[in-house]
Structure 1
Amino acid sequence: MDIIKELKWRGAINQMSDEEGLRRALSDKSVGLYCGVDPTGDSLHIGHLIPFMMLKRFQMAGHRAHILIGGGTGSIGDPSGKKAERVLQTMEQVHHNERCQTEQMQKLFGKDNITVVNNYDWLSKLDLLGFLRDYGKLFNINTMLNKEVISSRLEVGISFTEFTYQILQSLDFYHLYKHNDVQLQIGGADQWGNITAGIDMIHKLEGNKAQVFALTVPLMLKADGTKFGKTAGGTVWLDAKKTTPYEFYQFWLNQDDRDVIKYLKFFTFLDQTEIAELAEKVKTQPEKREAQRRLAEEVTEFVHGKEAVKQAERISKALFSGDVKQLTAVEIEQGFKKMPTVVVTAAKKNIVDWLVETEIEKSKRQAREDITNGAIYINGERTQDLEFEIDPTASFDGKFVIVRRGKKKYFLAEVK
């Protein structure tokens, strides 16, 4: 398999150093490569998937993938993509984030051809004089200032702490080259300056014959020119507690026709033939949204597993049809997370009084009218009896009551 050719077809390469040399290395042997992430939060988000999908493809092709959790670099802050200094986290928070991200990565990458390392293990052992004598001397200030990651910050200012980030990331590459036989670093487009600085450091310390390479992925933009991964509801996280699998599935399902094929190429492992067939369906039968559905299935399964896909599909079907009574309490929590929510007691009560007390209906007159006209559904069942008594503990493990008013207006009553 020509992985470089495959990545180019998928639109996954932005820049590459010494393409010919990298091709030779990849064809001759199993290459060690790495991608890093700083533990600035306790969960990764879909933006992190962009470079890590690249790493996953190399892993699947038999190369030795390394994930670097930046416990050291994360404690000082990467200036990339920021207009101001980062607020430093406590080391306790950094270490907590390290553990959370490591668990997520192990789930995504499994155990074959993968090594997880933490740069805190070697960066924390540096002493100031050794850092300045052994490594600081290798970096020319003028060259560093010309790197986009630094030059973009000069107008507003940058601390010495964040200025040194480039040296620390270079040290990571050097350490992994020496101790883990890593030759290739991959990252986002904004990391090109940091990665090539690492190559320069290795060549100065090991000689120009040292085979090390850089590869970056493009900045991911949507068809409307906005940045991929941001939604009106905020960040789409990989942690199921922050973004439920149903919300995650819906994010991919709702992608624009203009973007969906690009995302299928980048975020799934479908082959060229199947993606070409889906591209044709986008042109000829866009209303069926088959490409979006396949995208949602593939990425959700990769991140959350097959059962999460089944759950998301059940929730979607139930909300569309109104047949919510087949859902479990767990699925209700996912599917109704952003629905209007009220808190109720477990006490049984007449439907008219209950609807008014929960403010689902504005008045008893309106409640009676909607019930009589068949516009009110309780837990998926149309209820037209004005004497009906609502038992909040009767369904969904006694945790919820689902009310639908009209065709699409849902309310969630949470039993406390």
Structure 2
Amino acid sequence: MTSALTVNDRRQAALDRLADKGVRPPRTRTKPQRATRTPSRLRAIARTDGDSTVRRERLGAPPGTWYGIIAVVAVFVMLGLVMVLSASAVTQANQGNSPYSVFLRQSMWAGFGLIGLVAMARIPYRMWRKFVVPIGLIGVAAMLGPFAPGIGANVNGANAWIRVAGFSVQPSEFLKLAVVILAADLLTRRQHAMNHRSGTLYPLAGIAAVGAGLCLAQKDLGSAIVLGSIVFAIAWIAGVPFTPLATMGALSTAVGAAFVVSSQARLDRFTAFLDPDGTKDHLGWQMSQAAISIASGGPAGSGIGGSNTKTGYLPYAHSDFIFAIVADELGMIGAGTVIGGFAMLVLFGVQTALAAPDRFGMLLAGGIAAWFGVQAIINLGGVTGVMPVTGLTLPFFSAGGSSLFVSMAAAGLLLSVTRRIGVRGA
């Protein structure tokens, strides 16, 4: 309780600090003045032409959080590539493919992700507010792609992929990043009207409903849960009152429950984790084999390449259930390190949100931290058998180009906010 109150107090203190940042002073004509150096992390050279001011950033030394995020993401991506190779090589060879096929494809997406991370980190994060409408429209249009004949693909009963020229893309991954930007922009513009229904609450609920609804239409419950959690977290950080938040949470839970019980097969699969012994021969096979894999690791693990369950016993060992292979081959030490790494990444995101130079940056950082935290919890919960299996990837680890690319791009956006902590007049 004490820690929760402390976090809430710090959140409120940060909101109070940023309360007037979104209010622009009236424009006045001033004479051109020579730029002066400031002791802040950001120095700007300003050129005033009439009523317009052009400001170019000169960023100083980044804070320690910036280096921490880079370190965690770099370790995750490199370790993820190693584990994808280890988990996929045998099964790919048994299928007559190159044992490096999945690894090479994941490495290619890691290269694209590095480009996206660097680009997002270098672009001032406020720039994205100019493009919220196109971002939203593109996100919705992309989610309709899996239903288009010829390019839509059905995998494990979910119409959630687009396949073009040999590439598979999951639009819901890109929608998560779009929802973070859209919700953060809305609650920045409406910072003085958090309880206004038509201006704030209904549009916010609309963002969550459209995003999660499109995921449910694709039969992708896991992504719907993550999208709803992102909006809920950003709303809480922004200071939306408790009653609207509780109402949104109750309605979202009711819709999710209705979706699950609408199909007996879906309900059986969703509740299989409650009876691991009775379902281990069918619906609970993955969880059963994952448990065996995790238990086989012991404290130090069987070593890279030493897992036996990845040879065909554990389906999707290189994607959704890659954490079981991590625990098997790297042991309790490696598994604990991965869990601790996600905890650190979320902590860095929270620290960035609390120290952000403006409200938009605060909501972006908080939304991204919630995204990584919730998705990791759902994936790890499913692999360890304490939560239903929803088919969500483990960010930075699971094989899947869309997930890896978007996760790295989101980390770059978080770095862009972190880089500007402590600036004056950013």
Smaller-chain TM-score range? Answer: under 0.3
Larger Rg: 1
Higher relative contact order (CA 8 A, sep 6+): 2
| TM-score, structure 1 as length reference | 0.24
